[in-house]
DNA sequence: GTGAAAGCGCTAACAT
DNA sequence: ATGTTAGCGCTTTCAC
């Protein structure tokens, strides 16, 4: 049942090496020979053994995605779309996609050790926020090709990212333009580069519109909707005046929206809300949540691209690839439709 | 840098076979010998090459999860938690987790062919709704161990599932008990076994409470929040009377909620809403969404368990493992807190 | 309890 | 353009 390349070669009347070359599409084999070999191979349902191919070629033909359990649970639609993009490109290049789900950075470092020592992967894609950079250090130390999602905490790490300064700028600019100043910026932990970048853009927009950034309250929140709920509630309790909330994720935007409502303020009439990521459910909150589409699928595709460029040998250390973003304006920053209109 | 078992054996003054046995914890090696070998192995950071181990042992030491792109995007929190469970158990048994993301059943069949022929995986976990059963057929034909999430469309498939009849029953019973009859059941495609089971429980609850099931409108909707929005909107336009909506997923529950609101009805005062899956965002809709926790993480853990039992040789064809569920009652089926109270 | 040796199924020099 | 051959780094009989 399980045919080997030897069987194929024998039946085609060629040597194993010729069969191997033919199957791998090497140009040295004569087209007609190649044709005949392929014919026999497919008729027997032959495919080279992954393990054997890996062992003899010294490549695992597999890439590994390190996916932090916590943050993926929060921006889950993002994570899924990203993986989808990774998978699509990887498969096109005959690479397998493996997954490592980690609770914290220590687990990531351990997992990387295992991966590297067992030579079980040809490259790693980090979905970590990678606060400390120790994961990247480990990757370098092991000499494993890698790409990360987001701006790296240390220099010269190949990475794929949105222009998060611009993301923060565009979102803030929109809120300012529709007259929703002051804006509360609900950010994630300050250690994340994505937070730093978006915050920079947030301030930049204020400057460009001639507004004092000091008037823009910034909350360094946790990562969850609940964190945002509590932080915005606190701000409301302190009677801080604001006309809108810009949250760093859709989950946090939803938490913020609940906080605003709990204090008897209306969304969007009293306070406009804008999230980021454009998760699947944003279109179906009530009112629909405005957000920023970050094109997770494209980020995934780009990540493998950058990784394969290294694995295949075209290594450019400081490559940084930027994927487009766009504002998606819905009800939470505009006028409500349907039921809510009647309520006011 | 890259040590082989040969280096370890040499340094320990033993043969490679002894080193191999020691590293794999075989009881035949004398404890002190084993100790010495392990010492040297760890000090050199030695780990057996994954590829070599696979080739010589005839096992890939990897399991593959087939994840449909569409449904995972919708119940994304579920999917992530499930994978997390799978990963945890797999890692404990030294198995790698690979991911195959598919658009439709044809892609699944193709992917399975590749996986089987290349001997790239030792077993497959199907997250498919698997409407037709052709994916399972392919798995059997190839002799690949497998487990599926949900009740199989054909007999004797090892599967992990919730008791979905009971899920449907419990959810409907709760809505009936709080006086929210008639209930609209917003289901997924009728071909899914999960839909069939929950519907059966839904009807069962009606019978047990002495209610005519005919009065319970059932909508065979699509899978998305938008589908639910449209179907419930249609029902409202037709002036069908109902006091609650039970949706087969949280996304659909959110779609239903918007539809209800768009027609000027209040949630939960006029219409109660209940979803299923207990996705991360349910706690932060407004009001918070009641749902059914299905314990995705446990489902994941159980799936690998069943799979490893087969791979390791303890195969029981008709195994079906049931994971607990529980109702999570929140605002959409109770009384609203905060802002909404003031509105009424 | 430990060692010697034969593969596992490919790929990749090196020959021809 | 095709064939010969030597491994890749383990596991696993089979001896001792």
Asked whether this chain's domains B62-161+296-313 and B164-293+328-343 adopt the same fold, the reply is yes
pLDDT of res. A129:
64
Q: How far is the CA of B17 from the C1' of D15 (A)?
A: 13
Nearest DNA or RNA nucleotide to B49 (CA to C1'): D9
Nucleic strand D within 7 A of Cβ A17: yes
Query: What average pLDDT does the structure give for chain B?
Result: 88
Closest-CA distance of chain B to residue A293, Å: 15
Query: What average pLDDT does the structure give for chain A?
Result: 88
Q: How far is the CA of B327 from the C1' of C8 (A)?
A: 52
Cβ <8 Å between B49 and A119: yes
Q: What is the pLDDT of residues A5-18, one digit of tens each?
A: 999 999 889 999 99
pLDDT of res. A132:
67
Q: Half-sphere exposure (CA, 13 Å, Cβ side) for B216? A: 29
Q: Does domain B62-161+296-313 fall into CATH 3.40.50.2300?
A: yes
Residue A312: helix, strand or coil by DSSP? coil
Closest-CA distance of chain B to residue A212, Å: 32
Q: What is the pLDDT of residues A161-189, one digit of tens each?
A: 999 999 999 999 999 999 999 999 998 88
* Residue among B50, B258, B342 minimizing CB distance to A118: B50
Q: Does the global pTM surpass 0.85?
A: yes
* Residue among A80, A81, A120 minimizing CB distance to B96: A120
Percent of chain B with pLDDT over 90: 64
Of the candidates B88, B98, B90, B82, the one whose C-alpha atom is nearest the C-alpha of residue B279 is B82
Averaged over B144-173, what is the pLDDT? 93
Residues 6+ apart with CB under 8 A from B163: B322, B325
Cβ <8 Å between A99 and B83: yes
Quick one: tokens of B46? Answer: 């030695």
Cβ <8 Å between B117 and A45: yes
Averaged over A191-219, what is the pLDDT? 87
* Residue among A51, A114, A279 minimizing CB distance to B54: A51
A&B contacts, CB < 8 Å: 180
| Ranges A144-153, A268-277, B6-15, B211-220: which has the least confidence | B211-220
Within A286-325, strands assigned E span 291-293, 320-323
| Ranges A44-53, A87-96, A152-161, B114-123: which has the least confidence | A152-161
* Residue among B2, B73, B339 minimizing CB distance to A77: B73
pLDDT of res. B203:
94
Maximum distance among all Cα pairs of chain A, rounded to whole angstroms: 85
Note the helical H segments in B75-163. 76-92, 105-117, 134-142
Other CB atoms within 10 A of residue B210 CB: 7
Q: What is the CATH number of domain A164-293+328-343?
A: 3.40.50.2300
- Is A142 in contact with A163 (CB distance < 8 Å)? no
Q: How far is the CA of B115 from the C1' of C12 (A)?
A: 25
Cβ <8 Å between A101 and B83: yes
Examine the pLDDT at A208 and tell me if it is beyond 60. yes
**What class has domain A5-57?**
mainly alpha
Examine the pLDDT at A98 and tell me if it is beyond 90. yes
Confidence of residue A336 (pLDDT cuts 50, 70, 90): very low
pLDDT of res. A191:
81
A158 CB-contact burial (10 Å; exposed 0-12 / middle 13-18 / buried 19+): buried
| Strand D nucleotides with an atom less than 7 Å from a protein beta carbon | 1-13
Per 3-state DSSP, what percentage of chain B is helix, strand, and coil (rounded to 5)? 50, 15, 35
Of the candidates A152, A148, A90, the one whose C-alpha atom is nearest the C-alpha of residue A122 is A90
- What are the residue ranges spanned by the domains of chain A? 5-57, 62-161+296-313, 164-293+328-343
pLDDT higher at B75 or B273:
B273
Determine the Cα–Cα distance for residues A144 and A142; give it in Å rounded to an integer. 5
Determine the Cα–Cα distance for residues A69 and A73; give it in Å rounded to an integer. 6
Of the candidates A274, A253, A270, A262, the one whose C-alpha atom is nearest the C-alpha of residue A233 is A262
Residue B63: helix, strand or coil by DSSP? strand
Q: What is the pLDDT of residues B35-63, one digit of tens each?
A: 999 999 999 999 999 999 999 999 999 99
On chain A, the residues whose CB falls within 8 A of the CB of B77 are 73, 76
């Amino acid at each position: 049942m399980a045919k080997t390349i030897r069987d194929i070669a024998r039946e085609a009347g060629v040597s194993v090496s010729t069969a191997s070359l033919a199957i791998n599409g090497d140009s040295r084999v004569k087209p007609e020979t190649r044709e005949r070999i392929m014919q026999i191979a497919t008729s027997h349902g032959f495919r080279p053994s992954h393990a054997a191919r890996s062992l003899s070629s010294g490549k695992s033909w597999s890439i590994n995605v390190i996916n932090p359990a916590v943050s993926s649970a929060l921006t889950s639609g993002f994570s899924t779309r990203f993986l989808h993009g990774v998978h699509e490109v990887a498969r096109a290049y005959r690479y397998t996609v493996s997954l490592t789900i980690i609770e914290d950075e220590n687990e990531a470092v351990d997992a990387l050790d295992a991966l590297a020592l067992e030579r079980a992967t040809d490259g790693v894609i980090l979905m970590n926020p990678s606060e400390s950079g120790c994961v990247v250090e480990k990757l370098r130390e092991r000499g494993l090709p890698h790409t990360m999602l987001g701006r790296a905490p240390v220099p010269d790490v190949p990475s794929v990212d949105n222009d998060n300064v611009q993301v923060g700028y565009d979102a803030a600019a929109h809120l300012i333009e529709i007259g929703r100043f002051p804006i509360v910026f609900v950010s994630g932990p300050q250690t994340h580069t994505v937070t730093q970048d978006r915050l920079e853009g947030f301030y930049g927009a204020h400057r460009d519109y001639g507004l004092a950034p000091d008037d823009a309250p910034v909350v360094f929140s946790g990562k969850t909707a609940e964190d945002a709920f509590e932080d915005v509630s606190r701000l409301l309790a302190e009677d801080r005046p604001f006309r809108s909330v810009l949250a760093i994720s859709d989950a946090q935007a939803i938490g913020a929206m609940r906080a605003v409502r709990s204090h008897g303020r209306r969304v969007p009439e009293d306070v406009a809300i804008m999230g980021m990521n454009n998760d699947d459910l944003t279109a179906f909150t009530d009112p629909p949540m405005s957000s920023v589409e970050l094109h997770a699928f494209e980020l995934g595709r780009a990540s493998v691209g950058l990784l394969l460029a290294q694995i295949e040998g075209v290594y450019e250390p400081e490559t940084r690839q930027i994927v487009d973003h766009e504002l998606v304006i819905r009800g939470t920053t505009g006028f409500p439709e349907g039921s809510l209109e009647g309520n006011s």
